[in-house]
Amino acid sequence: MTGGAASYVPGAARADRTGLLFLGAYFLLFCALTLGVAAGWQAYWEQVESTRWPAVTAQLSDCYVHTWYDSWHGRARALHSVECSFRYEVGAVPYVVKSRVGDELSIVRGQIDLPRPAVTLSSLRQWVRRHPTGDAETIHYDPARPVRISLVGVEDDIKWKTPSGYLRGAMTFAAPGGVLLLVGVAWRRAASGPTARPSA
C-alpha cells in the first residue's frame, strides 16, 4: 500500500511571506497614523491653552524631583517627575495649585535607550535649580475652572510628549512600514507573473 507524500508548494510559502509583510506594514503604518493624530491633538490643545486661556503670573515654591520605584517586565524601574506649587490670583481670589511639571521620566535598570532621550534625570534637576522658591512664571488657567492650569512655555525643557516628538515617532514607524508595503506589492506582482496581452 503506497501513501501519497505531501508536496511543497513554493507559491504558497511566498504568499505566506507576502501576507506577513503586508501585516507588518499595516501595523507600522497604523502606529504612525496614531502618533500623527496624537501630534495634531497635542498641538491643538497647546494652542487653545496658550491663546484662549487667560495668562497670570504665578509664584513657584517647593519644586523638587519626585522619585518612586516599581518593576517593569521583571526589572527594577525608577520613575522621576518634577512637582511644584504655583501661587496666583484670579479676580482677587488666591489659588495654590500643586502640579507636575513636564513629563514623567522612566529609567529601567540595565536598559540602554537609543537614541538618547531628550529628557533626562539631569535635566529635571537642572530645571528645579533654575526655579527656586519665589521664582515667577507666566502660566495659563482655565477660565471655567481657575484651579486647572496650563504650563505651556514653562515646562517645555522637560517635556518629551510634544507635537514634534510625536511626529518624529510617526516618521520612525512610517518609514519601515512604507518599505514593507512596497516590498509586499513587488512580491505580489512577481508571484502573479506577467499579464498576457490579448492578440489583435
Question: pLDDT-based confidence at 9, cuts 50/70/90?
Answer: very low
Q: 14 pLDDT band (50/70/90 cuts)?
A: low
Specify whether the CB–CB gap between 78 and 67 falls below 8 A.
yes
Burial tier of 33 (Cβ tally within 10 Å: 0-12, 13-18, 19+): middle
What average pLDDT does the chain have?
Answer: 84
Task: Give me the long-range contacts of 7-11 (CB less than 8 A, separation at least 24).
Answer: 11/191
Does 89 score more than 50 pLDDT?
yes
- The structural domains of the chain, with segments of one domain joined by +, span 12-191
Which position has the higher pLDDT, 59 or 2?
59
DSSP string, 3-48: -PPPPP-HHHHHHHHHHHHHHHHHHHHHHHHHHHHHHHHHHHHHHH
Query: Which of 59-68, 109-118, 165-174, 180-189: highest mean pLDDT?
Result: 59-68
pLDDT tens digits, one per residue of 128-156: 999 999 999 999 999 999 999 999 989 98
Helices 163-192 and 10-51 cross at an angle (nearest 10°) of: 160
Distance in angstroms (rounded) separating the CA atoms of residues 88 and 56: 7
Higher per-residue confidence, 19 vs 151:
151
Q: Which three cell numbers stand for residue 200?
A: 489583435
Task: Give the mean model confidence (pLDDT) for residues 159-163.
Answer: 81
What pLDDT does residue 198 have?
55
Nearest to 54 by CA among 153, 135, 148, 139: 139
Contact 109, 53 (CB under 8 A): no
The strand pairing partners of 149, in sequence order, are: 141
pTM listed for this prediction = 0.68
Distance CA 71, CA 109 (A): 10
Q: How confident is the model at residue 195 (pLDDT cuts 50, 70, 90)?
A: low
Better pLDDT: 163 or 65: 65
Q: Please give the grid coordinates belonging to residue 15.
A: 504568499
Is the predicted pLDDT of residue 78 greater than 60, yes or no? yes
Looking at residues 101-112, what average pLDDT do you find? 79
- What are the backbone angles phi and psi of residue 107, rounded to the nearest 5°? -125, 115
Cα–Cα distance measured from residue 89 to residue 133, given in angstroms and rounded to the nearest whole number: 17
Higher-confidence position of 73 and 92: 92
